[in-house]
Every structure is written in structure tokens, then in C-alpha cells.
């Protein structure tokens, strides 16, 4: 190594880190101007609020980048444009959801009462109150049945795929079939359960368990998939640490791998339940329809909330006052709200459980 | 409590790929044996074959003999789980169980095997192991806290405590200090010195000074050429190895003229 003298670098003139920037309130300012500017044609031509919103967004998306381009240069303009587009896409995604929720709450809430939640549709005279109690019970029992069938199968299948069958041909086939199963239309699952139970128990057989079987067909692939992902996230280090302590493989899986992944698995299962709780078509076939409350999953028809919503909408009855809402439609809105609340609660529970079981890193 | 290990012409494969070829050596009981050598020469692979951790990787297998206490580890009648209970391992990256507290981590070897223990007995094991790993004073007031909340060096010492809690005959260490700062490293080196009186210790390290500091005997692994399997170049007492090695390649590697 010989020492060489580095070429002497002349100091650059002066480095400037500052450049022209739009004021911080610029986006808000442009937004206000855009809304105001869009109001003009809206008022003149008598357009609705949707057109106003779209026009405002367009004006904003053009005006802000142009202004930024003049002041900040090309990179600033691109940045403002892309930021604007991302926000617009986000709004487009959220608006229908918010609107749907609002509509359901708005139309369903007036129908909710203690009678609505605790009475079934069975009545002996027309002036008696009706409710959705039978459908609530049906939904709960059939969904619990589906979960009881599919959670053990799904989790064990995922354990096989990740812990035992990795790389084998059988595991490859199972993964492929699970992927295919994810895409099965729910009515096909319903027809499958329907034909199985008809062949076994005769043509007039209807029961909640049939619905559970149909739903579990839809649920198993979701459970397998989510559990697989969670198990894959468990670092191989932990398995090796456990093996190195002389722990057999099955104990390692039960006591190290599963607890580490538990939060994610429970979340996945809960989301799978939330996914099937709203299924209509398969249940219409095999679980049938009834106005009475049926607690026996293995005998007799059972109504669930989605089936109730569907049938009430299809046969709404006659409104008491001419031009009013038919009673069936009101019941359907109320049931829809209850169903959404159930799904939301399930999601909340999934989050809470996920947080409780998440590996702790605190001090 | 410690046992010696005799290895006789061991070949280690990943599927069809021969990773390490023809290793023979005797690892003495109650001493520290260090393996040095460039990356990818099979030191860790060889180390993992000593407690049958090697075969955790699908397709991995060995040919040849590893004898501990007169028994061949790779006999068909040998249960790898029983082997690993006697030959513990500490890994390159600290890997405490994230779902467990410090206390539970130390007891993991017993708890995961559902070994029944009285509370007082368990407390004893935890205290003895943590003291053995020089961690007791730092964590005795927060045994119920998650093991992941410790610093990297503390986590590694927790892993050592976890490994010695099951009282193995041999402790294998795969670059235990490579993820640690100098102070934690020195704490672990001191610990290795203390553990030597009770355990047979085998350590893989990239740090030549560390091998010189902690070990009694040193093995130098190297690749014959790129793509060729790794092999044991020289196995000697550490003193001789670093002062006057038999093999030129060893001298070149140790003095830094190579790799």
C-alpha cells in the first residue's frame, strides 16, 4: 500500500438546501377553491351533489399540480398529483361502504326493539308481533356448527402442509385443491351438502347441520390459508430452539409453534366465520325456511338471518298504509342491521383476541 | 457430567450435495473446542450434526460415525430427541420463545416436555441456570416479564440459561457472539470459561481472537476449492494452532493472508 495524495477538491460555491415550496395550507386552499368553482356549473345547470363532488375532485386534481408545477417544479407537481390520486382512490373505496352502512342503520334501526329480537315469525293471529329471534338462533347454531367442523380440520391441514408435508407432492396437491376450494361458488357447496343429506336421509330431509356442512366447505379453505400464512411466519429459529432442548416435534408444534401463531390463527378463524355468516344460497337449499325457533341443529328446518332477509324481501306483504313500506321489507332492513352488527362484533373480537395473544415484547 | 465426542470419517449431505467430507476428531470432555474457518466451509453444518439438529432440514443426512459415551448417535435405534436432551445447543441469533416470560423460557426444556416439577424445584432450576448464565442479577426482579424484552446480549445469555437448565452433557454454540456487542461478548466468553468445568463445549466462531481466548483445542475447516465440500484441515491444541500450526493453509488463514 503506497500513500497517494488525494486530488484537492475545490469547495463548491454554496450548497442550497432550500427551494420554493407551496405554503402548507395550499392543498386546503385549493380544495376550497375547487369546491366553490365546481359549485358554479352545478348551480347553473342544476346538477346533483354527486356531480358536484366529482367536478370538485377533478378541479382539485388539475389545479394543485399545476400550481405546484409553477412554484415547485416537476417533481413537486408529480408528487401533488399522485398524492391527490391516492386520496381520491381511498375516498372512492370508502364512500360506498359508508353509504351502505348509513342506509342500513338508518332504515334498520327504527325496526330494532326488544320484541324484534326476542320473538319469532310464528304467530297464530295477524295482529301478533313478529321478530327475528328464530333466525338469530339459526344463524348462531349453524355458524357454530360450521366452525366446529372446519376449524379443527383447517388448522390440522395447515399444520400438515407447513410442518410435515413441506415440499412433498401430496402437500402440493392439497395446496392446489385448497386454492380451488376457495373459489367454489357457495351455491355449489350448498348443492353438495344438499345431495349428501338427501342421499343419506331421504328427499324431505332438512336440518341446520346440513347448512353447517355447506358453510364449512366454504370456511375450510379460508382457515387453511390463513393458518398456513401464520405458521409460516413463525421463525424456524424457534422450532430449532425447541428441538435443541430435546422437545419432540409434536410438542414443539403444540407448545411453541401454535401459541406463537395463535393470535393470527384466531383472527383468521374469526374472519372466516364472518365471511360465511352472511351466506344465503346454500342455506336456502338445505336448512330451509321456518317461522318457528328451532334449537335442534340435527332435526328440522332452520332459518338464518340472510335467508330471512332474502325471503322477506321476496315476499314483503302489503303495507298498512298505501305507499308505505311493506312489513317484510322493514323486517329485512332490521335483520340486515343485526347481521352487520354481528359481523362487526366478530371482527372486533378477532382484533382483541389477536392483540391479547400477540407475542409480548414489552418491558 | 460431561462427555467426550468421537467423530470418525463423517460425511454430511444436503440431498445429493456433499457439504462436509471426511471429518475425524475427538472432542475432549470438560474442555472448549473451537471451530474456525471461512464462511460456507461447513463448520455450522458439522456442529449441527453433533446433536442431530442437521436432519431438521429436509433431505439432510450424514454418513460416518459420531460416538458419544460409546454409543453411535446415528444408529437406527437412537432417538434424535434423546440425543438433543443430552447435547444442548445455543444458536447464532438469540431466540427466546416470544410467548414466554423469562422464567418460563428458562424452564422451557422441562415445561415443553411436560415434566412435572414442584414450584420450589422449578424456582431452584431457574435461579441456578440464570446464575450459571451470569444473568440472575440483571433479571431476578422481572422474571415474569417477556424474554423478548431483554437486550440482545441478555437474550443470548437467557438462551444459554435455557440450554443448561436441562443439564446436558455437551453444549454446542453456533457463533453465539456474532450478533452481540463487545461487552456482551466478553460476558459470554467469561461464561464459557466458567461452564467449562461442568460441560463439554463446542463453539463455532468467526472471530479468531475469540477462538484463541476461549478454546483449548481448535479445528480449522476449509473448502478444498469453490464448489468442493468442506473438510477439516487441522485439529490441534489452540496454543499450537495459533503459534505454530502444522498446516500452511491454517497459518495463512489465522495470520489473515487468506480468505
Per-residue model confidence as pLDDT tens digits over A325-346 = 888 899 999 999 999 999 999 8
> How many beta-carbon contacts under 8 Å exist across A and B?
93
Task: Calculate mean pLDDT across residues A73-81.
Answer: 90
Q: How many CB atoms are located within 10 Å of the residue A266 CB? A: 21
* Residue A6: pLDDT over 80: no
* Residue A184: pLDDT over 80: yes
Per-residue model confidence as pLDDT tens digits over A39-76 = 888 888 888 888 888 899 999 999 999 999 888 888 88
- Is A256 touching B (CB cutoff 8 A)? yes
Q: So what's the pLDDT on residue B132?
A: 84
Which residue is closest to B162 within chain A, CA to CA? Answer: A245
Compute the nearest-CA separation of B219 from chain A (Å): 23
Compute the nearest-CA separation of B213 from chain A (Å): 26
Task: Calculate mean pLDDT across residues B129-156.
Answer: 89
Q: Please, what are the domains in chain B?
A: 5-254 (3.40.50.300)
Q: Note whether A246 contacts B109, CB cutoff 8 Å.
A: yes
Q: Has the ipTM of the complex gone over 0.90?
A: no
Nearest Cβ partner of A247 from B98, B113, B145? B113
Sketch the domain layout of chain A as residue ranges: 26-111, 133-315+325-357
Which residue is closest to A245 within chain B, CA to CA? Answer: B109
Q: So what's the pLDDT on residue B69?
A: 82
Query: pLDDT band at A4, cuts 50/70/90?
Result: low
Query: pLDDT band at A363, cuts 50/70/90?
Result: very low
pTM of the model: 0.81
Q: So what's the pLDDT on residue A11?
A: 66
Query: pLDDT band at A1, cuts 50/70/90?
Result: very low
Fold type of domain A133-315+325-357: MetI-like fold (1.10.3720)
A144: CB partners within 8 A, 6+ apart: none
More confident residue, A356 or A10: A356
Q: So what's the pLDDT on residue A21?
A: 83
Compute the nearest-CA separation of B242 from chain A (Å): 26
Residues of A whose CB is below 8 A from B148: 359-361
| Alpha helix ranges (H) inside A234-326 | 236-244, 249-252, 258-276, 281-286, 305-314
Nearest Cβ partner of A251 from B86, B112, B145? B112
Cell numbers placing B9: 470419517
Q: So what's the pLDDT on residue A360?
A: 63
Average pLDDT, chain A: 88
SS3 A321: coil
Q: So what's the pLDDT on residue A285?
A: 86
Q: So what's the pLDDT on residue A233?
A: 92
Compute the nearest-CA separation of B58 from chain A (Å): 9
Residues of B whose CB is below 8 A from A259: 99
Specify the DSSP element, H or E, that contains B210: helix B208-214
Per-residue model confidence as pLDDT tens digits over A125-141 = 877 888 899 999 999 99
- Is A265 touching B (CB cutoff 8 A)? no
Average pLDDT, chain B: 88
Q: So what's the pLDDT on residue A288?
A: 82
Per-residue model confidence as pLDDT tens digits over B202-229 = 999 988 889 999 999 999 998 887 778 8
* C-alpha to C-alpha distances, B255 to A153, B33, B218, B246, nearest whole angstrom: 59, 20, 15, 14
Q: Contact B192/B30 with Cβ under 8 angstroms?
A: no
Which residue is closest to A259 within chain B, CA to CA? Answer: B99
Per-residue model confidence as pLDDT tens digits over A233-278 = 999 889 999 999 989 999 999 999 998 898 889 889 988 998 899 8
Q: So what's the pLDDT on residue A7?
A: 62
* Residue A357: pLDDT over 90: no
Q: So what's the pLDDT on residue A315?
A: 86
Task: Calculate mean pLDDT across residues B84-104.
Answer: 90
Rounded to 5 degrees, φ, ψ at B174 are -100, 95
Compute the nearest-CA separation of B19 from chain A (Å): 20
* C-alpha to C-alpha distances, A188 to A184, A185, A194, A292, B23, nearest whole angstrom: 7, 5, 10, 27, 61
User: Which single residue is written with the C-alpha cell 459470554?
Assistant: B188
Amino acid at each position: 500500500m503506497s500513500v497517494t495524495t488525494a486530488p484537492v477538491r475545490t469547495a463548491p460555491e454554496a450548497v442550497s438546501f432550500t427551494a420554493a415550496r407551496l405554503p402548507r395550507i395550499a392543498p386546503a386552499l385549493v380544495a376550497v377553491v375547487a369546491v366553490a368553482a365546481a359549485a358554479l356549473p352545478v348551480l347553473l345547470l342544476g346538477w346533483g351533489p354527486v356531480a358536484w363532488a366529482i367536478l370538485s375532485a377533478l378541479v382539485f386534481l388539475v389545479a394543485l399540480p399545476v400550481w405546484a408545477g409553477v412554484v415547485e417544479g416537476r417533481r413537486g407537481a408529480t408528487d401533488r398529483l399522485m398524492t391527490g390520486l391516492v386520496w381520491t382512490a381511498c375516498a372512492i373505496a370508502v364512500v360506498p361502504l359508508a353509504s351502505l352502512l348509513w342506509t342500513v342503520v338508518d332504515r334498520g334501526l327504527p325496526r330494532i326493539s326488544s320484541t324484534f329480537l326476542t320473538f319469532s315469525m310464528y304467530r297464530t293471529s295477524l295482529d301478533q308481533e313478529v321478530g327475528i329471534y328464530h333466525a338469530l338462533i339459526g344463524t348462531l347454531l349453524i355458524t357454530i356448527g360450521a366452525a366446529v367442523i372446519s376449524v379443527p380440520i383447517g388448522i390440522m391441514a395447515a399444520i400438515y402442509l407447513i410442518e410435515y408435508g413441506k415440499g412433498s407432492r401430496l402437500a402440493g396437491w392439497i395446496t392446489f385443491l385448497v386454492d380451488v376450494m376457495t373459489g367454489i361458488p357457495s351455491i355449489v357447496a350448498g348443492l353438495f351438502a344438499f345431495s349428501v343429506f338427501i342421499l343419506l336421509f331421504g328427499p324431505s330431509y332438512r336440518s341446520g347441520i346440513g347448512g353447517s356442512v355447506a358453510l364449512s366447505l366454504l370456511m375450510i379453505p379460508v382457515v387453511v390459508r390463513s393458518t398456513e400464512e401464520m405458521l409460516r411466519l413463525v421463525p424456524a429459529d424457534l422450532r430449532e430452539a425447541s428441538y435443541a432442548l430435546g422437545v419432540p416435534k409434536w410438542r414443539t408444534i403444540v407448545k411453541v409453534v401454535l401459541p406463537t401463531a395463535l393470535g393470527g390463527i384466531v383472527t383468521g378463524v374469526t374472519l372466516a366465520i364472518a365471511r360465511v355468516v352472511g351466506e344465503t344460497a346454500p342455506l336456502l337449499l338445505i336448512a330451509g325456511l321456518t317461522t318457528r325457533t328451532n334449537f335442534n341443529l340435527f332435526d328440522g328446518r332452520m332459518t338464518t338471518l340472510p335467508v330471512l332477509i332474502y325471503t322477506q324481501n321476496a315476499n314483503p306483504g302489503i303495507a298498512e298504509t298505501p305507499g308505505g313500506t311493506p312489513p317484510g321489507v322493514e323486517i329485512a332492513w332490521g335483520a340486515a342491521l343485526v347481521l352487520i352488527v354481528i359481523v362487526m362484533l366478530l371482527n372486533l373480537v378477532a382484533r382483541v383476541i389477536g392483540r391479547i395473544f400477540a407475542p409480548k415484547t414489552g418491558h | 457430567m460431561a462427555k467426550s465426542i468421537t467423530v470418525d470419517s463423517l460425511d454430511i449431505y444436503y440431498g445429493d450435495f456433499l457439504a462436509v467430507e471426511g471429518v475425524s476428531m475427538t472432542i475432549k470432555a470438560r474442555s472448549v473446542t473451537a471451530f474456525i474457518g471461512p464462511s460456507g466451509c461447513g463448520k455450522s453444518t458439522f456442529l449441527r450434526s453433533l446433536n442431530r439438529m442437521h436432519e431438521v432440514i429436509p433431505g439432510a443426512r450424514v454418513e460416518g460415525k459420531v460416538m458419544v459415551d460409546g454409543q453411535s448417535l446415528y444408529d437406527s435405534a437412537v432417538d434424535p430427541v434423546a440425543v438433543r436432551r443430552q447435547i444442548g445447543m445455543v444458536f447464532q441469533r438469540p431466540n427466546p420463545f416470544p410467548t414466554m416470560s423469562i422464567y418460563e423460557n428458562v424452564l422451557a426444556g422441562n415445561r415443553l416436555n411436560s415434566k412435572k416439577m414442584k414450584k420450589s424445584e422449578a424456582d431452584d432450576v431457574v435461579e441456578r441456570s440464570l446464575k450459571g448464565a451470569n444473568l440472575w442479577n440483571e433479571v431476578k426482579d422481572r422474571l415474569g416479564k417477556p424474554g423478548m424484552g431483554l437486550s440482545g446480549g441478555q437474550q443470548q445469555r437467557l438462551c444459554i440459561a435455557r440450554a443448561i437448565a436441562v443439564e446436558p452433557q455437551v453444549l454446542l454454540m453456533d457463533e453465539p457472539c456474532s450478533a452481540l456487542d463487545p461487552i456482551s461478548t466478553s460476558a459470554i466468553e467469561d461464561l464459557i470459561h466458567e461452564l467449562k468445568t461442568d460441560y463439554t463445549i463446542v463453539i463455532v466462531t468467526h472471530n479468531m481472537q475469540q477462538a484463541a481466548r476461549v478454546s483449548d483445542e481448535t479445528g480449522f475447516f476449509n473448502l478444498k476449492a469453490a464448489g468442493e465440500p468442506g473438510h477439516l484441515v487441522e485439529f490441534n491444541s489452540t496454543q499450537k494452532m495459533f503459534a505454530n500450526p502444522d498446516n500452511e493453509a491454517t497459518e495463512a488463514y489465522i495470520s489473515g493472508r487468506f480468505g
